[in-house]
Amino acid sequence: MTTELLYALVGVGLFSLGLYALFVRANLLRKILAVNVMSSGVFLVLVALARRTGAVAPDPVPHAMVITGIVVAVSATAFALMLMLRIVQETGRAELPDTWSE
């Protein structure tokens, strides 16, 4: 097990944990946290696999993609949080209704 594979597998684990929490938790703030954990998992896989270059410096292209991704993730999080606050303001609860008919 190389370092790169170890961290890539941790990334897969983080993605799966986040996806599970996204399905299971009803609270919208927790769903936003879960999506953030998922994105961290994806970034970890990308950067870990970028390091399979042997003794030379890692591949910079995935690094650049992850930096872009981190900024996109924070702006999406800010927007999601504001949407959540508006939903709470309208409905009084930080959860989405279970059925569409409600």
Partner 1 sequence: MVCCRQTATRLASGTSRRGQRCEPDNQRCDATRDQDVDAQNLTQWIFDTLTGLGLLCLAWMALASSQLIKAIVLFVAFGLLMALTWVRLDAVDIALAEVAIGAGLTGALLLAALAKLTAVQTATSKAAHRSPKDRAARKLYRMPAALLLLVAAGLAYSVLSLPLNSRGLSIEVGANLDASGVGNPVTAVLLNFRGYDTLLEIFVLFLALLGVWSLGSLPPHRIEPAGPVLNTLVVVLAPLLILLAAYFLWAGAHGPGGAFQAGATLGAAGVLLQLAGWKPGPGFARLPWKLILLAGPALFILFALFTLVTGQHLLEYAPERAGILILLLETGATFSIGLTLAALFFGERPDDAEGR
The C-alpha atoms of residue 88 and residue 46 are separated, in whole angstroms, by 36
Contacts (CB under 8 A) with partner 1, residues 67-96: 67-68, 70-79, 81-86, 88-89, 91-94
* The pair of three-digit structure tokens given for residue 97, joined into one six-digit string: 């209704």
Cα-Cα-Cα-Cα torsion 63, 65, 70, 76, nearest 10 degrees, comes to: -170
Closest CA to 5 of 37, 52, 62: 52
Shortest reach from residue 77's CB to partner 1, in Å: 6
Shortest reach from residue 39's CB to partner 1, in Å: 9
Binding mask 15-54 for partner 1 (x = CB under 8 A): xxxxxxx-xxxxx-xx-xxx-xx--x--xxx-xxxxxxxx
Shortest reach from residue 99's CB to partner 1, in Å: 7
Shortest reach from residue 38's CB to partner 1, in Å: 10
Number of residues that bind partner 1 (CB under 8 A): 83
- What's the alpha-carbon Rg for the chain, to the nearest Å? 17
